Amino acid sequence: MGRVPWVWAQCALEGDQVVVRLSGWRKIVATRSTVKFPVSSIKRVEHDPLARAQVKIGFRNWRRHGQGVWRIGTYHGLDGWSFWSIGVGRNAVFIECSGERFRYVVIEVADPDATVSELRAAQMRVRAPDGEA
């Protein structure tokens, strides 16, 4: 309980792009080290420890996933493609996009609240009309 959670991914803003970086063995298992998508494509972003329940993976989605099961890489489900890099999921950040290859990006980061607030602030800057930023 008192342990520091593993960092499964790092999320950063580079201009108007969200960049998710994996490191170490995670990028080998995921077969990619970065995922990029524009901030303007984000429909929803939230800290959700139960993010696995929000993405319909297939007919076996009716059963809850066990704790401690990690998911890394690209998956295709009933709602489209998703990218995952999570362990237990305590610090999971759930990002729903539109118009991009990945409809869902689910990552576990060191500080989910800071990541969510940073992405929401970037969303507001992108959506603000010129002159009101």
Domains and their CATH numbers in the chain: 10-127 (2.30.29)
Per-residue model confidence (pLDDT) at position 127:
80
pLDDT at 63: 46
Please tell me the distance from the alpha carbon of residue 14 to that of residue 30, in angstroms, as a whole number.
22
- The whole-number pLDDT of residue 57 equals 67
pLDDT of residue 54: 81
pTM for the model: 0.83
Neighbours of 32 (CB within 10 A): 14
